[in-house]
Structure 1
Amino acid sequence: MATNWAALAAAEPELAATVEKRFAAHRHHVLATLRRDGSPRTTGLEVRFLHGELWLGMMPGSLKALDLRRDPRFALQANPGAGTGTDGGDVRVGGRAVEVDDPRVKGAYGEEVEPPQPFHLFRTELTEVVRTYVEDDTYLVVRVWRPKEPVRTLRRR
């Protein structure tokens, strides 16, 4: 089961706000896709949260876009910055990317984001959102959200 960003924000507003803040802290993030042979490919990517959706925009013909056209599964890791874990921790989003061909939708996106033309645009369908952080300098905390499920919180010492 998958859902959009607005559903996460409605179900878990605090988690959604933390994830958006982590992605906003840096411009470039890491996208993992699957190559034709099934092996992973990681590439840099900018993302946007607009109108209740998490959007992935890409240059035309990019390998990551071709990967997603063939197999829409992805994982997206927010840039950890200094990697200290004290600035909100690490966040990761997983799901499926659905290419958007509707010229009106791409036009509206382009007016707000002003990407280089032409471009691929993918809307995400989320299957998992994970936040990992250190609490009280003692515990590693992992919070996992999946559609139609409450957030699970795991603590390790």
Structure 2
Amino acid sequence: MRRRFEKYPHQVPAALRKDGSPRVPGLEVTFLFGELWLGMMPNSLKARDLPRDPRFNVRANPGSGGTTGDGDARIGGRAVAVTDATPLARFAAEAGPPLPFHLFRHLFRVELSEVVRTGVEGEELVVGIWHPGRPPRTVRRGNGDGPPHEEGS
């Protein structure tokens, strides 16, 4: 899953505006210190949205043409604002190029609540789902000849 997000630098997040509607701007995600981080430019609207309501989803960039052979990847969770100077400086020192950290003034550490990978195998849509503290599960949906079924059920 991590490789899927690192394949392209820009991803597609969704956060909630003040009125509850989704905001879907571009975003770069960074894997560092064994965690996922979201860095944002000064006064960006998404950086204002997340402290008010930290719930978000990020869909990995599908690449040119809108599809990839390795399926679709999405993560969801809470974005926790990092404001202490020590972790900010550590992040800036470790992230380095190509991440233009000097442009970022808002940093969020991700607390994952869901990881989903969707792909096609034969004539089935296969959805892999993971939530912290639970084993991963797989749901398969056929070509309309029966209900979705979960592996092992």
- Structure 1 stretches of 4+ moved >6 Å: none
- Superposition CA RMSD, Å: 1.2
Q: Which of 60, 67, 77 in structure 2 is aligned with 1:84? A: 67
The match for 2:102 is 116
Higher relative contact order (CA 8 A, sep 6+): 1
- Judging by fraction of residues, say which structure has more helix: 1
Name which of 48, 70, 94 aligns with 2:30. Answer: 48
Aligned to 1:26: 8
The count of residues paired between Structure 1 and Structure 2 equals 137
2:117 corresponds in structure 1 to 131
The aligned amino acid for 1:75 is N
Q: Is the CA contact (8 Å cut-off) linking 2:55 and 2:78 kept in structure 1?
A: yes
Percent identity between the aligned chains?
A: 57
Contact 1:32–1:41 (Cα < 8 Å) also in 2: yes
Q: Deviations over 1:128-150 (max 9, x none)?
A: 00000111x32110001011111
Closer/same/farther in 2, CA of residues 118 and 43 from structure 1, 3 Å limit: closer
| Mapped pair 1:71 → 2:53 | yes
Relative to the length of structure 2, the TM-score reads: 0.85
CA distance in structure 1 between the partners assigned to 2:127 and 2:103 by the alignment: 39
Amino acid at match of 1:151: P
| Structure 1 unaligned residues grouped into runs of 5+ | 1-18
Q: Distance in 1 between matches of 2:67 and 2:23?
A: 25
Alpha carbons of structure 1 residues 117 and 144: separation in structure 2 relative to 1, 3 Å: same
Whether the 8 Å contact between 2:12 and 2:25 is mirrored in structure 1 is yes
Structure 2: state its 5+ residue gaps: 143-153
Q: Quick check: 1:85–1:133 contact (8 Å CA) kept in 2?
A: no
